[in-house]
Amino acid sequence: MRVHMNTAGSGIIHDSTHEIMKNYLFSEFKIGSYETELKYESILNSEVYNNCAQLMNCDPENVALFTSATDAWVSIIRMLRVKEKSEIWISDSEYAANVIYFSFLSNKYNLKLRRIPSISNFTIDLEWMRNNLSDNVSIVSITHMPSCCGIINPIEEIGELLKNKDIAYIVDACQSIGQLPIDVKKIQCDLLTGASRKFISGPRGVGFAFVSKKLSSKLSYDFFDLHVGYTDNFNKCLTVNTAKSFERSERSLVSICGFNNALKIRINDSDYNNENFVFFLEELKKIKSIKILFPDSYIQGIAAFQFKNCSASDGVKKLRDQGINLWEGTAQHTPFLSPHILHSKFVRASFDKNLSIHDIEIALNAIRKI
């Protein structure tokens, strides 16, 4: 059995999720996939939305499913009407794909892209936000936890600052949801996105979004698919007015079924304490042959470090050969957070609270020997 420390890439699915997906696929093989869809109708069309809504504390009708977190994020944001020459504010933790989209958008509407400065622990500077907010800000986009390490941005405090303002407040919770409690009512955001496969430990191929009513009413639709609409003599008719309208008709149903089970496991466990990670990080800090990145920040679930005498790629390979999964990280996925190491690689170790101390000791011993 492997020691899996790559949950920021993808968590290992639970036995029961594996079983459910196997049965679903077998049913598709035996009776046909559309026929299987009918059999699992209540899971696919309501249970999974209810469970996803429970995880985020919202109404099921505000939940939409996609193929990835980026798919969720872009599918919604691209329908947002943005005021010409207004400002988009982003966090230093911002995921690179989000930045790429905003670069396109800023060229199209002549927008000003601004980085919210960070304080010394690399989280966003709330004081700066308070002092600089103006009516000309149209979007504030915050990545709750960057993909390179477990820094946590204060998304609820940002929500307090932005409430009652005519600003689209967007939260990328891809690395935090599943490992930290997420409550969109407390965050007061308009959009929050995540993926099944990371700290929820669901299968790959599913992303999801919470879309607020306020944001939905501001979006300019350019398409809806046939699960919610039809066309009649060139008129277009939308029949459903929930976030499902943002989805595509065709979905990987076996993955959605697995995602539903992973959600159930997560919401049935109210404990978000990852003490084993705290132990791991403290032990890691004692190892002389490595350099911890972001040593002065409060970190949860994802650690980043470099070997002093070995490249990240060689170190990760040596550990993988011993059955220990770490990942060779690139700062290019979080270009503003770590510009000083933009062109070098690092090792990323990430895991949820279920990794045992025994497995962590195995990994630590192997890391010490590199």
**Cβ of residue 296: shortest distance to ligand PLP, in angstroms?**
21
What residues numbered 31-70 form the site for ligand PLP, per CB under 6 A?
A: 68-70
Three-class HEC string of 120-172 = CCCCECHHHHHHHCCCCEEEEEEECCCCCCCECCCHHHHHHHHCCCCCEEEEE
Q: Which of 321, 280, 269 is nearest to 304 (CA)?
A: 280
Stretch that binds ligand PLP, among 52-60, 83-91, 143-151, 354-362 (CB under 6 A): 143-151
CA 178 to chain centre: 9
> 183: burial class by Cβ within 10 Å (0-12, 13-18, 19+)?
middle
Rounded to the nearest 5°, which phi and psi values hold at 256?
Answer: -65, -40
CA distance 23 to 8: 27
**Cβ of residue 69: shortest distance to ligand PLP, in angstroms?**
3
Give the residue with the Cβ less far from ligand PLP, 70 or 338: 70
What residues numbered 158-197 form the site for ligand PLP, per CB under 6 A?
A: 172, 174-175, 195
Give the residue with the Cβ less far from ligand PLP, 171 or 363: 171
CA distance 228 to 226: 5
Interface with ligand PLP includes 262 (CB under 6 A)?
no
CA distance 267 to 302: 21
Among 6, 91, 138, 147, indicate the residue that binds ligand PLP (CB under 6 A): 147
**Cβ of residue 116: shortest distance to ligand PLP, in angstroms?**
16
Give the residue with the Cβ less far from ligand PLP, 63 or 366: 63
Stretch that binds ligand PLP, among 110-118, 139-147, 262-270, 278-286 (CB under 6 A): 139-147
Interface with ligand PLP includes 5 (CB under 6 A)?
no
Q: Which residues bind ligand PLP (CB under 6 A)?
A: 68-70, 95, 143, 146-147, 172, 174-175, 195, 207
